[in-house]
Structures are given as C-alpha cells and as structure tokens.
Structure 1
Amino acid sequence: MTHDSTPEAGGPGPVPDGESGLAPDTEPSAPTEPADEPIGRRVLRLRTDRGLTQRQVAEPAYTPAYISTLEAGRVRPSEAALRHVAERLGVTYEELTTGQPAHLATRLRLRLTEAQRGLTTGAAEEAAVLYEELRAEAERHGLAAEQAAAELGLGECALETGELPDAHRHFEAAEALLVAAGAPLPQRAPVVRARAVAHYLSGELRYACYLLESALDELNTSGLHDPDALLLLYTATIAPYMDMGAHARAAQAAELALSLAPQAGDPVLVAKMHRSVARTLLAEGRAAEADASLSKAAELYQRLQIRTELAHCHWMRGYVHAQNGRLADAERELRTARDMLSAKRAVLYTTQVEVELADVLRRRGSSDEAAVLLRALLGDLNPERGAVHAAGAHRLLGIIAEESGAAGAPEGSGPVTAAAEAAEEHYVTALSLLERAGAAGDLADLCRLLGDLYRRTGRIDAALDTYRTGLGHRAAPGTTTLGPAPAEPPV
C-alpha cells in the first residue's frame, strides 16, 4: 500500500517516519512504556471514557488500524502522532505522555495551601481529610514534593489532635520522600523542625535538640544560608533548651533568631519567633520586653487569622503574667488559650495549657479546683505523650497535697503522714518522667521539693541524696549532650 501526501476521506494519511498505518499483525513495533501505565493503554482508556471510535481518533491524519496498533502497544509513536492523538482526545500532550492531568502540580499546591489555611484557622480534622486526598493523588501521579507536603500537613494535624505516633509516621514519610527526590536542606527544614517538635512533645528533648542542631550545623557550615530555614530551626530549639535548663543556649538561639527576622520572607515565621523569644526574655527577667514580643506575635497572627498560633500567644502571655505575679491576668490569658485550643480539639496542647492554669489557680487559693483539673487531664498525658507536662501535673498535685496536709495539721504536730505519702508519690512519679525526658531545669527544682519533704519527715540521708541529685542537674548550665553549640550563620 502506498500513501499519498494528501489524506483522503476514510483513507490513510501521511505517516511519519517509524510509523505504519497497517493492521496490528502487519508491522509490529516494540513499545516504549512509562513505568506507571503503558501509553497505548492510556490512549485506549481515554478514548473509551470519551465514547470515541478508533476512526474518530485517527482521522484525518492516520488510519483506525494505526490507532489499534498503538493501543495494543505494538508501535512506537512519534511526538507528532501523540500530539495529534492528544488533540483528538481533548487532552494536553503532557497529560497523554505522563498520565498527569494538565497543571496538576499547580492545582495540588493551591489545594495544599487551602488545607494549610484550614489547619491554621482551627479545622484540623477537616484539613486532615483534604491532606489525605491530596497525598493519595500526588502519590498516584508520582509528585514527590506535593506528596511530602501532604504528609507534613497530616503530621501537623496529628500534632494538633495529640496523636504523636501518627505525627512521627507522617513526618518520617515526608522526609524520606524529600531525601529520595534530592531536595536540599532548606527545603527539608520544615520537616526537620516538625520531627523535632514531635519528639519534644513526646518527652525526647535531647533527640529533638540533636535533630535541630545537626540541621543548623549543616546549614551554617555548608553555605546554605537560608534565612527562613534558619529562623524556623533556631526558634524551634528554644523550648527544648529551656526545658533542659540550657538557658544560655536558648538565649543565644533567640538572639540569632531576632537577627534573622528582618531577612525572613514569611510573616508566620516572624510571629513564631516573637512567641518563642519571649521565653528567653522572661528567663533573663525582662518581663516587659517578653510581653511586648508576644504582643507583636499576637498582632501578626490576628492579622493572618491563625487561631492556633494566636492561642499559643495567649498561653505564653499567661505564663509571663504568672511569673511576674499578675495572677488574675495570667488566669484570664490561660483560660482564653485553653478555650481556643479546646474548640479546635487540640487535645495535647489543651492539656499543657491546663497544667499552667492549675498552677495559677493554686497560687490564687483555688487548690481544690486545681487538683480536680490536674487529675482529669492526667488521662491525656503519659511518658510518650506530653511527659514534661505530665510531670508538671504530678509536681503540682504533690505541692497541693503538702499544702493541704500542713493546713490540716495542729500547730506543732508535725507533718500529716497521709498527705506526705501522697506528695512523695507524685514527686517520685514526676521525677521519673523528667529523667526520661532530660528536662534538667525542672529536675533540679523537683529534687529540691522532694528533698525538703524527706527532711521534714525525718529522712535526712534521703534528703541529702536528693539534694545532691538536684545539684548535679545544675552543674552544667547551658549545655546539652551534643557538646559545643552549633555553628553560627555567616555574618
């Protein structure tokens, strides 16, 4: 059969090099198939979905027999042939050759932004449903970056609802996807920070610091000076440093974060920085500056309508007021934070705020209300899920038990045995939780409380041992298990 240069109605048209308009059993050709779906099968699927015949797809340039050959995977189509088939099927050339709908990655990123907005404005469960849909779609089309972003979002949703094992799983999956795709560290920084936060909330303070310090070292020594990534990581180090008693290192991280803030392009990061820096300012006795920093963060979050972070600002402001002796203001701020987080069903964060609130209630003379609150929330905390705050709850219950025993004892009668035993039980439980988490600063304070209890009940040797343990935790301020602080960014 010869082919004319001008196609005739119902007949064959010009055939580009390497192709044939013959029937499938006349001129076979080895196909080139993408890994996910053979291109011929994709043509068959799209044609069938649209209710088109092989003739309708073929004309006017090719024969129905050629389309049959292509669908059977027995011909290697040229770019010109695929562009013709794509036009007849009503899809783009890229969609036909890759199997990915046109502008899929862009649409996925827009929907990821929508899910992130839902998460930050308080709809964690709804955001999780959308993230799961996006994760499955990105996986189906082989879009690693978008799949990693969806995994990160699912992990953040799990953090909001207190499901730490799920958060760990999603964050690790996100990092594995980015590493396999060869993403540089600045792009992986949000996942590193998220993994560290999950470990911190699980009570693994030292490992959280290890993740953050290792990433900071790599960024600062390899010339990957990305202000957003550095600000994200330095800000994340402040909370575990503070809980470990490494106040000098926390202050250094806060100073570096402040210096990076003008270079950062993300206002959310700047707001987070102000919230975290307030802790170090407070530790240095600069309560007014801490409150001012939190006010700046609150203004940014209010403008961005990010309720979770706004709740955290109320939380930190309550903490600042409590440390500064303004207990009525502290109670108001903490109740606001608790109500906002509870409305979002952010279980773990809510229980952490309630520990702070219980301390304020006790100091305001409402010990019974504080004790009821603490006992109720302990069911949501355990060594793997909020260890530091579970220890804080037991510490407060121990103090309340001691105070109630002292109040019920006649003048000069000595300690009340039942109250002392209850207090000791809570202190020892808290000590075990803090030792596991490595919260050195809190450990030293708890050892003082337990040592005082032993001394008042006549157990001098046990008191001395406990005091020595507390001094050991105070012996090396400003350090972690990692030795030297991470390298500073280049000036």
Structure 2
Amino acid sequence: MPHNALADGKRQEEDRTMDESAVIGQRVQRLRTERGLTQRQLADPAYTASYISTLESGKVRPSETALRFLAERLGTTYEELTTGRPARLATELRLALTDARRLLATGTLGEAAARFRELLAEAEELDLTSERVEALTGLGECALESGELTAAREHFEEADRTLAAAGEPLPRRVRALRGRAVTHLLAGELRYACYVLETAIDELNAQGLHDPDALVLLYASSIGPYMDMGAHARAAQAAELALALAPRVSDPALVAGMHRSVARTLLAEGRIAEADASLAKAQDLYQHLQTRTELAHCHWMRGYVHAQNSDLEGAERELRTAREMLAARSAALYTAQVEVELADVLRRQGRREEAVDLLSRLLEFGTDLGDGRGAVHAAGAHRLLGLIAEGDGANERAEEHYVMALALLERTGAAGDLADLCRLLGDLLRRTGRTEAALDAYRTGLGHRAAPGTTTLGPAPTPPPFRDSW
C-alpha cells in the first residue's frame, strides 16, 4: 500500500506538470500566431523550431530561462506567459492597495474596509498571494480600529497562514503576527499577546533574521502588554532595543510607533520630560504621514504625561483632542481607553459628576466592554467609579465597583492593575472593620505582583547581536 500510494502521488504530480505544460504550450502558440511568427523565427537564435513544436504540443515543460527568452521574443512578460495574467493587472492592484492604505490612514474606516474587501476579491480572482495578504492585513487593521476583534483576528490569521503556506520568510509575516497579538491584547489576553510577540522575536533572532523593521515593530508592540502586566523592567528592555534599532529602520511610521510606545516606559521611570519629547517626535512623524489614529494615540499619551506631571488642564485638552479624533474614526476600543483616562483627570480636578457621567455612559452604551473586549478598560472604569463612591462615603457601592473590576481583570493577566485593586479593596474592608476579608484581599494582591522584569512566560526574548550581525 505505501508503495502504491507513492506511485499514485508521483503519477498525480506528473499529470499536473503535463497539464501545466500543455496550457503554457497553447499560450505560446496563440501569442506566436497573433504576432505572425513562425516556429523558427520564435526560436532563433537560442533554440530550434523542433523545440518550439515540442513545447507547443505540451510534451515538454520549458525552463524558466526558456520562458523568459520566449516572453521577450513574444513582447510579453514572464508572468503573463506562465500564468496567462497580464502583468499590468497585478501592478494596478498594488497601486489600488496603496490608495486603500492611504484611505485607512486619512479617511474613514468604513470606506477603507469596503475598498479592501473589493481588492481582496480581485486578488483572489487573479490568484495573487502578496496582494491578497495585503488586503487581508488592511481589513484586519480596519476591524482592529473599529473594535471588531474576532473579525480582525480572523483576517490576520488568514494572512499569516497564506504567507506561511507560500513559504514566505518570518519578516514578511510579522505584521500579521503583530496584528494577532494586538487583538489578544485588546481582548484582555495579555499573556498570550506577549507569547505571540516574544515567540516571533526569538524565532527571528534564532534564525539570524535580524530585520530592523520587523524587530522594531515587535519590540514596540510588546511594551504595552508588558506595562499592563507590571513587567516594567522587561518593557524598558524592549524600549531600549527598539531605540537601538531605530536608526536602521526605513519606515518612518514604525519609528513613530516606537517613540509612542517607548514613552510609556519613560513614564514608568518618572522621566516625564523625556517621555514628552519622545511623544513629540512621534507626533511630528505622524502629522507628516497623516496617520490620524496614531496621531490621536500621541495626543492620548501626551495627555497621560501631563496628568502624571499634575498639569490637569493640559491633560484634559490633549485627551479631549484624542477622543474626538478616535471617535471620528469609529475606533471604539481606543476611544474607550481615552475616556477612562479623561474621567480620571476630571475626578482629580474635582469634577466628580462629569467623571461619573462619562464612565457610566461608557459602560452602559459603549462597546460591550468586559465581554471579551476591552476588559482592562471596563475594569479601569469600575475602579474610578469605586474611588469616587468611596470619596463620597458610599462604601458599599465602592466595594461593588472594586469587585466587578477584579472579576474583569482576573482574565487578563494585568498583574499591576490587579495588585492595585486588591490594595484598594483591602483598605476599604479594613476601614469598615472587616479585617479578615481585608487580609484575604491583600494576600490576593501580593499573589498578583510580578517580579521586576518578568512575566509568567520565562526568560525575556534573546536580544539580537547588534554588533556581531550588523
């Protein structure tokens, strides 16, 4: 049976090759006839008329060298001769994809998504792998911004599978992998987001594929989940490596994204002025690129910087700008995160009623926060509502909000936020005379504290050998 199976497989492969040869032969004959050439005229000076006759009858599979020679003689392209597809169609599709990406950066998400869907259908009809992947990635990014995490993940996974099946190297797959990781991050699955990013980094370095664009994208993307998990030292290491790679990066959008992400680690270290400077660089680059969503992220992070520096008026101004820009693009989950930050600024300004109104509307009419999407944001909203209720003396309501926030965060792996909430709940329980319950809350919080520079994933990814390899 195994011998027969092997023989059958070999025959099937031979039949497929013969079919392809026959199709190519017919194509050569048609183009030769259309151009009024004899077999000898087509063959000269490299081949013979009998070879062209054999080729046109489908009895031989021509080599790439022969096909390129014949394509030139026939006034066509190698691609058209081998696939029957005019080369201009692929070029036009690539130009259309470039326009769609610009639309994603400067237009509305709905328009961009509709255009990417049209181009995906064209790429599939023409059987163009690279263009199909570009359309899938564009659709994934549209869905990511609008908060459709399941759809985004499906698009990114299909793009990655397509590239892997085509034997594309890992650097080509990085954008799809990064997209997958971000969908898990926004769904509150922080550890898995780190796992996807760290695995890709380790594979790149293990294979000697020290691609600067790919590594900067992965390192910058890992800073967010590291910070949310409380692994500040590991986030700082990723930021340091991203900064070291930045001079080798050819894509200014990646450099801008790196500066935005690095600012988070500078903030954690109390380096406010440096964080603001890093964000200013990113903002200048994104303004040049007209990438509205990333520009909004810069306003958001600058607002956070101002808040950390107790400039609450500046923080409110930047956060409101970010909120308007993101809402205009229907970037639902990002808008929710900015609104939580804005509510905290309003609370610190003494505008408690405004903060409560904003948070309540966010939880009631928002983007299904807490149901697998935006759990960290929903937990942040409940935490703030708990603080406000506690400040008003409504201890029972405050406890309810803290408990709801804890339930949301327990699925995410956001160690730092979990530890902070357990401390808040423990303090509240202790003040109301429930000492044993307070101790339980404190112990739970201690269990969620991450050792500096670590996650539950083991050692940090191996850094690339900068000096040795480049």
Shared fold (TM-score greater than 0.5)? yes
**Does the 8 Å contact 1:58/1:85 carry over to 2?**
no
Report the AA paired with residue 470 of structure 1.
G
* 2:404 corresponds to which of 407, 426, 429: 429
* 1:394 corresponds to which of 382, 390, 397: 382
* 1:137 corresponds to which of 122, 127, 131: 122
Q: Matches of 1:184 and 1:93 in 2, distance apart?
A: 24
What's the counterpart of residue 484 of structure 1? Answer: 459
1:230 and 2:205 equivalent?
no
Deviations 1:392-424 (A, max 9, x none): 0111111111122x2xxxxxxxxxxxx222211
Aligned residue for 2:258, secondary structure, equals: helix
Q: Matches of 1:485 and 1:84 in 2, distance apart?
A: 54
Describe the shift of the 1:352–1:60 C-alpha distance in structure 2 as closer, same or farther (beyond 3 A). Answer: same
* 2:415 corresponds to which of 415, 436, 440: 440
Report the AA paired with residue 329 of structure 1.
G
Describe the shift of the 1:445–1:122 C-alpha distance in structure 2 as closer, same or farther (beyond 3 A). Answer: farther
**Segment drifting more, 267-276 vs 370-379:** 370-379
1:100 and 2:85 equivalent?
yes
1:278 and 2:263 equivalent?
yes
Describe the shift of the 1:285–1:99 C-alpha distance in structure 2 as closer, same or farther (beyond 3 A). Answer: same
**Segment drifting more, 423-432 vs 199-208:** 423-432
What's the counterpart of residue 66 of structure 1? Answer: none
Deviations 1:366-393 (A, max 9, x none): 1111111111112311241111111101
1:355 and 2:343 equivalent?
no
Q: Matches of 1:461 and 1:204 in 2, distance apart?
A: 31
Query: Offset at 1:123?
Result: 2.1
Query: Offset at 1:92?
Result: 6.4
Q: Matches of 1:230 and 1:94 in 2, distance apart?
A: 33
Q: Matches of 1:263 and 1:459 in 2, distance apart?
A: 58
Q: Matches of 1:168 and 1:351 in 2, distance apart?
A: 20
**Does the 8 Å contact 1:57/1:85 carry over to 2?**
no
1:217 and 2:218 equivalent?
no
Q: Matches of 1:226 and 1:148 in 2, distance apart?
A: 20
Report the AA paired with residue 224 of structure 2.
A
Report the AA paired with residue 433 of structure 1.
L
Aligned residue for 1:103, secondary structure, equals: helix
Report the AA paired with residue 445 of structure 2.
G
Q: Matches of 1:425 and 1:196 in 2, distance apart?
A: 32
TM-score, L = length of structure 1: 0.80
After TM superposition, list the pairs within 5 Å mapping 1:57-456 onto structure 2: 76=58, 94-95=79-80, 97-378=82-363, 379-380=366-367, 381-404=369-392, 406=393, 419-456=394-431
Query: Offset at 1:329?
Result: 0.4
**Segment drifting more, 223-232 vs 380-389:** 380-389
Report the AA paired with residue 396 of structure 2.
E
What's the counterpart of residue 460 of structure 1? Answer: 435
Report the AA paired with residue 385 of structure 1.
R
Query: Offset at 1:246?
Result: 0.2
**Does the 8 Å contact 1:318/1:331 carry over to 2?**
yes
**Does the 8 Å contact 1:200/1:208 carry over to 2?**
yes
Deviations 1:309-362 (A, max 9, x none): 110000000011111111100000000000011111111111111111111111
Q: Matches of 2:59 and 2:112 in 1, distance apart?
A: 43
Deviations 1:294-313 (A, max 9, x none): 00110111111111111000
What's the counterpart of residue 12 of structure 1? Answer: none
Q: Which has the larger radius of gyration?
A: 1
Report the AA paired with residue 296 of structure 1.
K
Q: Percent identity?
A: 68
Aligned residue for 2:87, secondary structure, equals: coil
Query: Offset at 1:38?
Result: 6.2
Q: Matches of 2:456 and 2:37 in 1, distance apart?
A: 74
Query: Offset at 1:110?
Result: 1.9
Q: Matches of 2:451 and 2:71 in 1, distance apart?
A: 72
Q: Matches of 2:443 and 2:382 in 1, distance apart?
A: 22
TM-score, L = length of structure 2: 0.84
Aligned residue for 1:339, secondary structure, equals: helix
Equivalent residue pairs, number: 427
Q: Which runs of 5+ in 2 are unaligned?
A: 1-15, 40-55
Deviations 1:117-138 (A, max 9, x none): 1111242211111111121111
Report the AA paired with residue 391 of structure 1.
A
Deviations 1:261-309 (A, max 9, x none): 1111111111011100000001000001100100011011111111111
Q: Matches of 1:58 and 1:286 in 2, distance apart?
A: 71
Query: Offset at 1:91?
Result: 7.8
Q: Matches of 1:348 and 1:373 in 2, distance apart?
A: 15
